[in-house]
Structure 1
Amino acid sequence: MAPLLAVCAGYFMVILDVTIINVAVPVVGRELDASLTGIQWITDGYTLVFAGFLMTGGALGDRLGNRRVFCCGVGVFTAASAACALAPSAGFLVAARLVEGLGAALIVPGSLALLQEAYPQSAARSRAFGLWGSMAGIAASAGPLLGGLLVSTVGWRWVFLINLPVGAVCLVLTLRYVASSPLRADRALDGPAQCAVVASVALLTAALNEAGRRGWSDPAVLAGLGLAVLAVVAFAVRERLARRPALPLRLLRSRTMSGGAAIGLLFNFGFYGMVFTASLYFQHQRGFSALRTGLALFPAVAMTMFASVLSGRLSRRTGDRPLVVTGMLLGALGLGGWAAAGSDPAYALLVLPMMATGFGTSFALTGSTATVMGAVPPSYAGTASALFNTTRQIGSATGVALGGSLLATSTDYGTGLRVGMAAGALAYLTAAALAWWCVPGGADRSGGR
């Protein structure tokens, strides 16, 4: 149990910092006299570095040992959080947030790889993956609630100070209870390929973030998307020619590996798009405070832990495919129900759709995680984890960008919200169909490896 607590504590910090800052940014901007651009970088800088360096973090873990890289990431993240809390200016805070993102990129790939090493038996590993996955939903949805509570009581600096005790406990538990990971000196880091990955993910994430503010036809957005595509092409060419590629293309040709990663992108698109647009809707359309908005989103959070534990227990009897398909259909039902509820429905009508979406996403996460991690040999566990989480981050950024664009360009919040929820429901339905094709069932655990 201790290895699971250690890994989940680190992952919880990382995801919490994606959303907890949102409600604190207005106060931070006033106290530090930050410009609009500075405020944007406080929130987006972390996400850009986090998403961009995930593949590098995974490759370092496979080469140097996942526990060593994980602990290094926790140390960097915790120190950067302290720097954020003590920031005397907006520029200093932005720089500290960038370092925080780097620490997060070292933590996340190693977290899944360490769980795979600590729980070699399939049933125990599924339960561990389920609890790990529930941390994402809980942290993402609890961020606005916790952030609103801290900002309104003890001040915005505690949004970062709260990471210090969590980071310290995580480091102690990891060093004491998590076994050392093997070193693989033969694994090449392939610097040019890593640079191409960092460039492609950072450019794509930046373009998606800007699309939510500038619109999809803005020249800067189009240039960012075009350059991201060029970086992906450069990565593919490099990996095809490299003697020791960072991510062998044969792994991507596995329908289990690539399909599981695509499923992660789709359900993050739906879930985080819902959380983002619903947060704006509750605050701007209904006049909720940050704290009340967090409480309004709580039904989606409340289901995540229960769903993850349940799916982890059921997977050994049913296999992963039925759970992922069921979860995606529930997510589609939830967002489809919200879209059909009208332009300004009573809050009571939204509770069940939020519960269905939160339950379905968390219910499917265990199986999709196991699918991706089971599709590669142990020597590529960190890389597989990094790929899965990179695609999920891209899905989140796309969902947020599309949701922001719809709210900004629609005649009213209600119409934009309904279109966004319908798009999320379509993503869940696509993921369900993809899961039926690529996720191993009860008897077939190979999944096309």
Structure 2
Amino acid sequence: MAPLLAVCAGYFMVILDVTIINVAVPVVGRELAASLTGIQWITDGYTLVLAGFLMTGGALGDRLGNRRVFCSGVVVFTLSSAACALAPSAVFLVVARLVEGLGAALIVPGSLALLQESYPERSARSRAFGLWGAMAGVAASAGPLLGGLLVSTVGWRWVFLINVPVGVACLLLTTRYVAPSPRHADRALDRPAQCAVVAAVTLQTAALNEAGRRGWSDPAVLGGLGLAALAVVAFLVRERLARSPALPLRLLRSRTLGGAALVGLLFNFGFYGMVFTASLDFQHQRGFSALRTGLALFPAVAMTMFASVLSGRLARRTGDRPLVISGMLLGALGLGGWAAAGTDPAYPLLVAPMMAAGFGTSFALTGSTATVMGAVPPAYAGRASALFNTTRQIGSATGVALGGSLLATSSGYGAGVRTSMAVGALAYLTAAALAWLCVPAGRGRGVPTADDADHR
């Protein structure tokens, strides 16, 4: 239990910082005189760097040892959180958030890999993954409410200071209770591939953020999206030619691994896009305070904790596919219901859609996590975790960026929120179809060998 607690404490901080900022960022924007684009960067800068450097974090974990890299990430994250709390300007805060995202990129791949190392038996590992997902639910549900409470009482800077004691406790627990990880010093870092991933994520997120200010047809926006696509192509070409690729092609060709990773991208896109646009709508259009906004979002994120625990238990009986598909269909029903409610629905009409989206997203998380981690040999656990979480954070960053742009370019906030929810519902439906095709139907298999991976 102690290794699980140590690892989950680090993951808790990472997820908390994704959601806690949503209710605080309008207040931060007013106090630091940030534009809507600046607000998006305060929110998205963190997830952008997190998504861009997760592959690097996973590769470093496999090469240098997951525990060492995990602890380094905790140190960077904790110090940069303190810097965020002391930020004198919007620009300083954005830079500090970028460094915080770098620390998170070192934490996340190691968290799953350390669980895989600490709990080698399948049933214990499934429970650990379920509790790992439940910790994400706790952090996600605590984020808006805790953020609203802190902003309304002691000020927005405590949104970041709260990470300092958690980071210290995580570091002490990890060094004391988590065994050192094996190193694979023969695996060189594929720097060109890492640069291609960073470029793709940065260009895509920057283009979507700027679309709200410049318009979707602006050459800079279209050029950024085109260059992001070229960066993805460059990554794939590099992986084919590299002697020591970031992810071997036999793993990239795995329908199970790739499909589950795309499912993660899509459900993060839908869920975090909903949380971001709803936060702005509640505060800017409905006049909610930060605390009231946190309470208003609580039905959506509170369900994530319950759903994670439940799916972790059911997975051993039903397998992963039914859970992922049913979760995605429920999420689609939730966001579709929000979109169908009109441009200015009464808040009580939004409670059930938010609960459905939160429950469905978290219900699918455990199954998709187990699918990804079971699709690769143990020696590649760090990189598989990095791939899965990279796609998830790309989904989060894209959902926030696209949601903000839709709010800025639509005829009104109500129309922008409605369009954003409809797009999120479509993402959930697409994820359900992918899960049907790619997530194994059986009730669990052992971790594959390298030879097994070759034939997938």
What interval of TM-score do these two structures reach, taking the shorter chain for normalisation?
over 0.9
Matches for 1:50-449 after TM superposition, within 5 Å: 50-443=50-443, 445=445, 449=456
Contact 2:130–2:308, Cα closer than 8 Å, also in 1: yes
Report the Cα offset of residue 54 of structure 1: 0.9
Task: Give CA deviations for 1:216-256 in whole Å, capped at 9, x if unaligned.
Answer: 22222212112212222222222111112111121111110
- Of 349-358 and 318-327, more deviation after overlay is shown by 349-358
- Of 251-260 and 10-19, more deviation after overlay is shown by 10-19
Report the Cα offset of residue 172 of structure 1: 1.0
Contact 2:152–2:290, Cα closer than 8 Å, also in 1: no
Report the Cα offset of residue 31 of structure 1: 5.1
Q: Does 1:4 align with 2:4?
A: yes
- Aligned AA for 1:59? A
- Of 379-388 and 332-341, more deviation after overlay is shown by 332-341
Contact 2:47–2:394, Cα closer than 8 Å, also in 1: no
Report the Cα offset of residue 38 of structure 1: 6.0
Contact 1:209–1:397, Cα closer than 8 Å, also in 2: no
Contact 1:213–1:404, Cα closer than 8 Å, also in 2: no
Contact 2:48–2:202, Cα closer than 8 Å, also in 1: yes
Report the Cα offset of residue 137 of structure 1: 4.1
Give 5+ residue unaligned stretches, structure 2: none
Contact 2:48–2:397, Cα closer than 8 Å, also in 1: no
Give 5+ residue unaligned stretches, structure 1: none
Identical counterparts, % of pairs: 87
Report the Cα offset of residue 86 of structure 1: 2.9
Task: Give CA deviations for 1:111-146 in whole Å, capped at 9, x if unaligned.
Answer: 111111112222222222222223334434533332
Q: Matched residue pairs, number?
A: 449
CA distance in 2, matches of 1:24, 1:285: 16
- Of 236-245 and 208-217, more deviation after overlay is shown by 208-217
CA distance in 2, matches of 1:91, 1:365: 34
CA distance in 1, matches of 2:36, 2:288: 23
- Aligned AA for 1:320? D
CA distance in 2, matches of 1:426, 1:39: 26
Q: Could you say what secondary structure the match of 2:21 adopts?
A: coil
Task: Give CA deviations for 1:15-57 in whole Å, capped at 9, x if unaligned.
Answer: 2223323444454456556677765544333232222111100
CA distance in 2, matches of 1:70, 1:421: 35
CA distance in 2, matches of 1:351, 1:217: 36
Q: Could you say what secondary structure the match of 1:179 adopts?
A: coil
Distance 1:213 1:272, change over 3 A: farther
Q: Could you say what secondary structure the match of 2:336 adopts?
A: helix
- Of 439-448 and 410-419, more deviation after overlay is shown by 439-448
- Of 175-184 and 125-134, more deviation after overlay is shown by 125-134
Report the Cα offset of residue 72 of structure 1: 0.5
Q: Could you say what secondary structure the match of 1:21 adopts?
A: helix
CA distance in 1, matches of 2:91, 2:395: 29
CA distance in 1, matches of 2:318, 2:2: 27
Task: Give CA deviations for 1:385-434 in whole Å, capped at 9, x if unaligned.
Answer: 11111111111122223322333333333333222222211211111111
TM-score, length of structure 2 as denominator length: 0.92
- Of 128-137 and 423-432, more deviation after overlay is shown by 128-137
Q: Could you say what secondary structure the match of 2:376 adopts?
A: coil
